[in-house]
């Protein structure tokens, strides 16, 4: 008789999501959604009412609870651990706060080479044990055949937050450091990259079956700037991850960058809604998987519109192995949950072989 552990490993490996990551045939197109545990869902709001966002991230039992609840309620084909892309920057000596209604704020931004020098090397990732414990608890509670995705921000997106002190429209501070002090820029990106390798590999060890690297802000760069200032660092992270764990490489506003992102690495390249899926896949080459790419705002338009748009994207994928359906970015807070569920059911129905 097979051991329970080997049975569950086989079930996970043969799940539609993991098969799609490897560009293998699937019985239907797998779907999961960025920010699938979020404020649009009543169960999540009830948990969040008791604590801050950062407190929830740092309470493994509750992070696991909202992760599992969202996956089960929606009927998606993968869960993604409840965390935040910026958690890795705290052990570097960055003072991170999530201000109510304003998103992340960094109280000691990095603007000069001297600021870079004061950052700490992440020798080990023990300060982030709460993430790994949340992964272990989530893995123990999920269905045996439902994969769990771990994640973090990519080097450029983390660097831009650290430098700007929060979100930005034009990334003036980030690009100024990048253009005027390449040594400081590379030192910062290398520091982040080394920390990411430790952090993401620890997520795999804790029980994540796949990873996603969120380069949410990299779309602000030209192709030349991406290739000079970002690609080598992102590629270094991806090449040093535990072999055999699929990685999704995702960004927004990256229509001009997808070929370079593919060069940086990833088993699956995320496409946002500004680029048609078939055009993006053709440019990338069909020997890589893709994820995407419904506009998150489409979920406000009603079930008939959602169904029509899902059908269009599935037709663009043309049944080719290696398509994971997702939004082009995360679910927005006011999204009607019934439309989210309708999208998932529609994708499963229309793509069934």
Check residue 100 and give its pLDDT: 72
Catalytic residue among 35, 40, 229, 267: 35
Confidence (pLDDT) at 9: 83
- pLDDT (tens digit, 9 = 90+) per residue, 326-337? 999 999 999 999
pLDDT for position 4:
40
Kindly name the residue from 77, 84, 215, 272 that is annotated as catalytic: 84
Is 123 a residue whose pLDDT tops 70?
yes
- Tell whether the model's pLDDT for residue 6 goes beyond 80: no
Mean pLDDT value across the chain? 96
What's the rounded Cα separation, in Å, for the pair 322 and 231? Answer: 24
pLDDT at 102: 66
pLDDT exceeds cutoff 50 at 62: yes
Is residue 122 very low, low, confident or very high in pLDDT (cuts 50, 70, 90)?
very high
Average pLDDT over residues 124-152: 97
User: What is the average pLDDT across 167-192?
Assistant: 97
Q: Which residues contact 132 (CB under 8 A, 6 or more apart)?
A: 125, 202, 203, 205, 206
- Where would I find the beta strands (DSSP E) of the chain? 79-80, 96-99, 103-106, 148-153, 210-215, 247-251, 268-270, 289-294, 323-327
Please tell me the predicted confidence (pLDDT) of residue 3.
Answer: 40
What is the pLDDT at residue 295?
98
Q: pLDDT value at position 1?
A: 35
39 is catalytic: yes
**Which domains are delineated in the chain?**
4-351 (3.20.20.210)
Taking only the tens place, the pLDDT of each residue in 13-39 is 999 999 999 999 999 999 999 999 999
Q: Is 44 a catalytic residue?
A: no
> 67-84: per-residue pLDDT in tens?
999 999 999 999 999 999
227 catalytic, yes or no?
no
User: CA dist 266 to 21, 159, 243, 259, Å?
Assistant: 10, 20, 12, 12
Does 2 score more than 60 pLDDT? Answer: no
Measured between alpha carbons, how far is 190 from 276 in angstroms, rounded to an integer? 33
Cα(235)–Cα(231) distance, integer angstroms: 6
pTM (two decimals): 0.96
Task: Kindly state the average pLDDT of the residues 291-297.
Answer: 97
pLDDT in tens, 252-289: 999 999 999 999 999 999 999 999 999 999 999 999 99
- CA dist 16 and 143 (Å) reads 14
Question: Which are the contacts of 279, defined by CB distance < 8 A and separation ≥ 6?
Answer: none
Grade residue 166 by pLDDT with cuts at 50, 70 and 90. Answer: very high
Local confidence band at 182 (pLDDT 50, 70, 90 cut-offs): very high
What number is the average pLDDT over the span 107-116?
96
pLDDT of residue 254: 97
Q: Which of 40, 161, 199, 229 is catalytic?
A: 161
Which residue in the list 48, 136, 262, 283 is annotated as catalytic? 48
* Percent of residues, the chain, with pLDDT higher than 90: 95
With a cut of 90, say whether residue 316 has pLDDT above it: yes
Q: Which residue is catalytic, options 19, 22, 28, 39?
A: 39
pLDDT in tens, 196-231: 999 999 999 999 999 999 999 999 999 999 999 999
pLDDT at 103: 82
């Amino acid at each position: 008789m097979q051991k329970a552990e080997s049975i569950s490993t086989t079930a996970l490996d043969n799940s539609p999501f993991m098969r799609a990551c490897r560009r293998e045939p699937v019985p239907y197109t797998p779907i999961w959604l960025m920010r699938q545990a979020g404020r649009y869902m009543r169960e999540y709001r009830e948990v969040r009412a008791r604590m801050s966002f950062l407190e929830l991230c740092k309470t493994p039992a509750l992070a696991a609870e909202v992760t599992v609840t969202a996956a089960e309620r929606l009927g998606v084909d993968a869960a993604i651990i409840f965390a935040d892309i910026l958690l890795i920057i705290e052990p570097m000596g960055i003072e991170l706060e999530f201000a109510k209604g304003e998103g992340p704020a960094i109280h000691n931004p990095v603007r000069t080479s001297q600021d870079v020098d004061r950052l700490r090397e992440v020798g080990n990732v023990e300060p982030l044990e709460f993430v790994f414990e949340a992964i272990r608890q989530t893995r123990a509670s999920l269905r045996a055949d439902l994969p769990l995705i771990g994640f973090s921000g990519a080097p450029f997106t983390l660097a831009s937050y650290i430098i700007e002190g929060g979100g930005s429209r034009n990334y003036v501070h980030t690009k100024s450091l990048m253009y005027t002090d390449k040594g400081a820029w590379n030192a910062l990106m290398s520091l982040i990259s080394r920390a990411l390798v430790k952090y993401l590999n620890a997520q795999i060890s804790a029980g994540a079956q796949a990873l996603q690297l969120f380069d949410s802000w990299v779309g602000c760069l030209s192709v030349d700037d991406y290739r000079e200032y970002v690609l080598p660092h992102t590629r270094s992270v991806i090449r040093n991850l535990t072999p055999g764990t699929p990685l999704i490489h995702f960004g927004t506003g990256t229509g001009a960058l997808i070929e370079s992102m593919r060069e940086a690495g990833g088993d699956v390249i995320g496409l946002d809604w500004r680029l048609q899926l078939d055009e993006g896949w053709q440019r990338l080459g069909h020997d890589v998987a893709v994820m995407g790419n419904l506009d998150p705002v489409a979920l406000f338009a009603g079930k008939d519109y959602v169904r029509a748009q899902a059908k269009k994207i599935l037709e663009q994928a043309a049944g080719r192995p290696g398509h994971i359906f997702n939004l082009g970015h995360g679910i927005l807070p006011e999204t009607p949950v019934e439309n989210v569920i309708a999208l998932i059911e529609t994708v499963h129905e229309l793509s069934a072989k």
